[in-house]
Amino acid sequence: MSETVLEGLLFDGRSAAATPVRIAIAGGVLTVTTPEGAHLSEQGLSLLTVTEAFATAPRQIRLPGGAVIEVADGTALTAALAAAGRRPDLVDRLEARWRAALAAVVACVGVIVAAYVYGLPAAAGWIARALPASAERRLGDGVLELLDGHLLRPTALSEEEQRAAQARVDEAARLGAPAVTYRLVFRSAGFGPSMNAFALPGGTVVLLDGLVRGTASDDRLVAIVGHELGHVARRHSVQALLKSAGVGAAASLLWGDFSGQAAAIPATLAMFDYSRDAEREADEDAVRFLRAAGRSALPMVEALCLLQCVEREASLGAMPRLLSTHPKVAERIQHVRELGRVDPSYRCPGPPPAGSPGSRDGDDGEDEPGTCGTPGAPRTSID
């Protein structure tokens, strides 16, 4: 039986002093002696912990009881352990096989990406479906309180304007979405033009002042609310909140712990950045909503045309991006056209010429209609 003898330094774990020793490895046993040959200890290889091999760097052997032997010739120790039948640790084997290590890293990244792309939405969807209605309402109230404290302001609409908008929506919803429980709340934006509407968990639909004043006299408001009720019915906002803000932030909102929640505002706003599939589903729901309410799909196309026009304009003031843009609006317009059988001759109006009454020149940022196409057409966003 061959025996390998190596030089090392013994640290007893009680002092910093190093004692020169020799180690012999044979038959699954490590024997420690002094340079003169005096026997010090003997340990089975299975009881030892050996640090990872790294090029020609020294390696350490940790003995039971806390003592450590440092072997300067790490390469020789690796060979001796292998000859004695000690299998290298997984890390050592991967380092020796860099292709396998690289494949393992790629596989780990793939698992993480797959979990984010597929696992997280699936988990968010499952939790959203299992969440009781009362808990979802509390979650929505928490989000609204957070937004009220940082981004939104009390509405400037008169009681008459609010009642008129509520009545117009309620009339359509009674026919178009009788099974959807919702409530409308009116706010003014504290960050610039308030041409916006968005749904919160639990059925709250927030209508900002500029949107109401710009669309209350036609069916675009009905179409926009129909779109938001689609998000409500499908619990899109709950799913998006769980995915973007995380379970911890959602739990804080759910149980009313708003301390330090300002840091969660960006993640909370991300709940309004719905996926393409969610927007498509809500657009389809809006078309069905309009039809059931005895209206054509044209108002939904018009609302999307306004959104497309907004995205062509140079600026939306200080409005946060997540509350103002959506991807592939042209694609959504085409889909609604086809689904709603809108007259193919209808074309979205273009932006008004510079200096015209409906242009953005000299816009003071107030919530007044009059941009994108004809005068009176509002800047809008449909989340």
pLDDT for 249-306, tens place per residue? 555 555 555 444 544 555 555 556 678 888 999 999 999 999 999 999 999 999 888 7
Residue 24 has pLDDT above 60, yes or no: yes
**pLDDT for the residue numbered 158:** 95
SS3 195: coil
pLDDT for 51-90, tens place per residue? 876 666 788 898 988 899 999 888 888 888 888 877 666 5
Single out the residue of 69, 73, 72 nearest to residue 30, CA to CA. 69
What is the C-alpha separation between 304 and 283, in angstroms, rounded? 10
Alpha helices in the chain (DSSP H): 74-83, 90-96, 98-114, 120-130, 133-150, 159-176, 209-215, 220-234, 236-244, 246-254, 265-269, 276-292, 298-312, 329-340
Top-confidence range, 11-25, 258-272, 289-303, 344-358: 289-303
**pLDDT for the residue numbered 221:** 92
pLDDT for 227-247, tens place per residue? 999 999 998 888 877 776 555
Q: How far is CA 257 from CA 228, 262, 263, in A?
A: 27, 11, 13
Check if the beta carbon of residue 354 is closer than 8 Å to that of residue 362.
no
**pLDDT for the residue numbered 187:** 94
Model confidence at 156, in pLDDT bands (50, 70, 90)?
Answer: very high
pLDDT for 95-124, tens place per residue? 556 566 677 778 878 776 665 555 556 555
> What percent of the chain shows pLDDT beyond 70?
66
pLDDT for 194-203, tens place per residue? 678 899 989 9
**pLDDT for the residue numbered 222:** 94
Tell me the DSSP string of 38-69. -EEEEEEGGG-EEPPP-TT--EEEEPTTS-EE
Rounded average pLDDT over 115-143: 69
**pLDDT for the residue numbered 367:** 39
Rounded average pLDDT over 310-316: 52
pLDDT for 173-202, tens place per residue? 999 999 999 999 999 987 655 678 899 989
Model confidence at 49, in pLDDT bands (50, 70, 90)?
Answer: confident
Rounded average pLDDT over 212-218: 80
Mean pLDDT of all residues belonging to the chain: 76
What is the C-alpha separation between 168 and 290, in angstroms, rounded? 12
Check if the beta carbon of residue 274 is closer than 8 Å to that of residue 231.
yes
Model confidence at 374, in pLDDT bands (50, 70, 90)?
Answer: very low
> What percent of the chain shows pLDDT beyond 90?
29
Residue 321 has pLDDT above 80, yes or no: no
**pLDDT for the residue numbered 316:** 44
Check if the beta carbon of residue 193 is closer than 8 Å to that of residue 317.
yes
Model confidence at 150, in pLDDT bands (50, 70, 90)?
Answer: confident
Which carries the bigger pLDDT value, residue 181 or residue 1?
181
**pLDDT for the residue numbered 318:** 40
